[in-house]
Amino acid sequence: MRVLILVICLFSFTALSAQKKNIIVDKSQAKAAYELLNDIRMNPKKYAKELGISNISKVKRTKLIWNNTLAKVAEFRAYDMANHNYFDHTSPKGIGPNHYISEAGYSLNSDWLKKRSANNFESIAANHPSASEGIKAFIIGKNSPGFMHRKHVLGMDEWNASLVDIGIGFVRVPSGSRYTTYLCVLIAKHDW
């Protein structure tokens, strides 16, 4: 509980310091992206041509479950990147997504927390007009080396297929930041 309060306080402090940039957390965009991703996962053939999914047999056809804790962490991550003008899986303080997820109260396997900068669960994007466009970019592979994001969001390998919970954060930044939008997608599970 103490840890969750700490994350809430950090988010509140960050929100106050970001007022100059007018960063807007867009929850409706996050939910729309969640619905689109589940539709793609359940109907990959429908999207195969548009998104270049040639190996649709590898797409994990299970719905991801919205998790409010992961959503709050994803919002915080997107907001933090916008507020501190960086784009990376690791914060300027050297903290990775696994640490933030655990600190928010989503229990993780202790092996995934050994390295403070660890990331087993996050995909990020920037400068997309909507969160749904960011999801499509992950799948198409635009600005994504090796299609790692595609594997992550579509569950196309053993590890990513085992992930069941999702949270998405999407923020808009009218001015004062490197990018105009930031998207963070966390797809995770509690244990291996």
Residue 18 in domain? no
14 belongs to a structural domain: no
Q: Are 98 and 77 in contact (CB under 8 A)?
A: no
Task: Tell whether 90 is covered by a domain.
Answer: yes
**Contact indicator for 181, 171 with CB cutoff of 8 Å:** yes
Residue 7 lies in a domain: no
pLDDT band of residue 6 (cuts 50, 70, 90) is very low
Provide the whole-model pTM: 0.88
Q: Is residue 17 part of a domain?
A: no
Selected residue with higher pLDDT from 26 and 9: 26
Give the alpha-carbon dihedral of 39, 44, 50, 55, to 10 degrees. Answer: 150
Domain containing 176 equals 24-188
pLDDT value of residue 148: 87
Does residue 94 lie within any of the structural domains?
yes
- Computed over every residue of the chain, the mean pLDDT equals 89
**Span 81-93, mean pLDDT?**
96
Cα–Cα nearest to 131, from 71, 183, 70: 183
- CATH code, domain carrying 101: 3.40.33.10
What total number of domains does the chain contain? 1
The answer to whether residue 5 sits within a structural domain is no
- pLDDT of res. 16: 45
- What pLDDT, on the 0 to 100 scale, is given for residue 143? 57
